[in-house]
Structure 1
Amino acid sequence: MTVTTGHTDSTDAGRRNGRARPAPLSSGEVAPAPKLRRRPILVVTSVAAVCLGALLGVWAWTSTSNTHEVVAVRATIARGETIDQADLMTVQVGVDPGLRTVAGNSLTELVGQRAAMDMAAGSLVTAESVTRSVIPPAGQSVVGVALPPSLMPGEPLQAGDNVRIVGTPGAQGEVTDGPPVEVTATVVGLHPGADQDKTVVSVQLPKDEAAELAARAATGRVVLVLDSRER
């Protein structure tokens, strides 16, 4: 006679439920380690990320090791103008050894010097960009000529421009015989005049001609002519 008990074998119960359950382990057996599923796409992605990180690191190191701190122009400086500290800044750039840039720690040495050429904002300062020349040099003088826009050329004047200050007819419009009196000079700066409608043009000329120009400029009967800028 077969005796049926109320305890159901776990293996048989698993089979009845459609799932095969592993047989219980005896006390002396060890469960095998679970098998890991390899995903090739993750392996490839990981290797690519490592390589990209290494390349970026090399690029960053190379970039920083080849850059230098140099002086650059913060605000445009016209030729002949005195350089102020606010006009300059320092930047980190990689430069060609053939370019004679000014090291960043020399910025303060440039203050008070003059621009030897027009220096645009954002450009690098080179040794040729500045000069220690004193204005006016020996044998030269600077005269300020206050003029309204109607007696100046429509083209904006720049330091270094060659100009002529020409005498105009008197108050009654009289014209003297012979060619008009004119004085040749070089523009060294422009400044707002006491009158809002006038600009003071500072011009440099030989010392022995300065007195005559100053006397004529004081009368207000002069006009400024801009000559060719070709060099």
Structure 2
Amino acid sequence: MTSTITRDGRSVAHGSTPPSLPLVPPPKLRRRPALVAGAVAAICLGALLAAWAWTSTTNTQEVLVARSTIERGSLITEDDLARVRISADPALSPVAASAFDDLVGKRAALDIAEGGLITAGATTTEAVPRDGASIIGVALSAAQSPGMALQAGDRVRLVVTPPPGGEQSSGPPAFNNAEVVEVNYDSESGVLVVDVLVPHADATVLAARAATGNVALILDSRER
């Protein structure tokens, strides 16, 4: 009987079954819970971001805003409007950008601040001054006008005052009710020029009074 020397130095006789090598167990994989949790969190965050992006793009709409401040009664031009895409609350009734051409040529029904949304009630086709009304300008000094800043739409009274050195009449002074349309201040002269809307029948009398400079302006309640 012959024998053969195996690799491990043992002698194995021919005709016999060589002994089997011991099996090496597979390496054990180490579980890392922190990595698993991080992967799950990343997947969830990605899903949330995708949902937010989809919602933000599908709920936006292109609307019109004021490129610059538009004063009440002003004629709206193309340069006054800009198109923006925002997520607007439908309760605000914003005007869609597709109505751009329809708004050009209309008038502002109220003061619209720069960047403000153009809403359904912000414009009007009514001319200023309206039929049966007139606009006159009244130049006032600091002593003839209130200290509060006047705004378009304010209701005021223009009161006739006695001339310098003149005597006050015994009865109540004459006055006219009016509505402020626009206010301009001349910093060089310190004069405040107030354009007021009055009934057509009162325009000539009030203009004559304003020309004398013997008038004072009273601001009435702003509550409507």
- After TM superposition, the score normalised by the length of structure 1 is 0.73
Letter in 2 for 1:153: P
**Which has more strand, going by share of residues?**
2
Gaps of 5+ in 2: 1-7, 10-23
Hey, what's the Cα distance between the residues in 2 that align with 1:116 and 1:125? 11
Query: What stretches of structure 1 of length at least 5 have no aligned partner?
Result: 1-10, 13-31
The residue aligned with 2:210 is 217
Percentage of matched positions with identical amino acids: 49
Q: Separation in 1 of the partners of 2:105 and 2:139? A: 26
Provide closer, same or farther for how the CA distance between residues 39 and 72 of structure 1 changes in structure 2, counting only shifts above 3 A: farther
Superposition pairs of residues 73-84 of structure 1, within 5 angstroms: 73=66, 75-83=68-76
Range 85-94 or range 193-202, more displaced: 85-94
1:181 Cα deviation after fit: 2.0
Contact 2:136 2:203 in 1 (8 A): yes
Name the count of aligned residue pairs: 202
1:12-161 aligned within 5 A: 37=29, 39-40=31-32, 41-73=34-66, 75-83=68-76, 88-107=81-100, 109-161=102-154
Say whether the 8 Å CA contact 1:164–1:183 is kept in structure 2: yes
- Alpha-carbon shift at residue 62 of structure 1 (Å): 1.3
Q: Report the Cα distance in structure 2 between the residues aligned to 1:106 and 1:36, rounded to whole angstroms.
A: 69
Q: State the Cα distance separating 1:222 from its structure 2 match.
A: 0.9
State the match for 2:155 in structure 1. Answer: 162
| Offset of residue 221 of structure 1 | 1.0
Q: Matched residue of 1:185: which SS?
A: strand
Measure how far apart 1:86 and its partner are: 5.5
CA contact (8 A) 2:155 2:220 kept: yes
Distance 2:157 2:143 in 1: 15
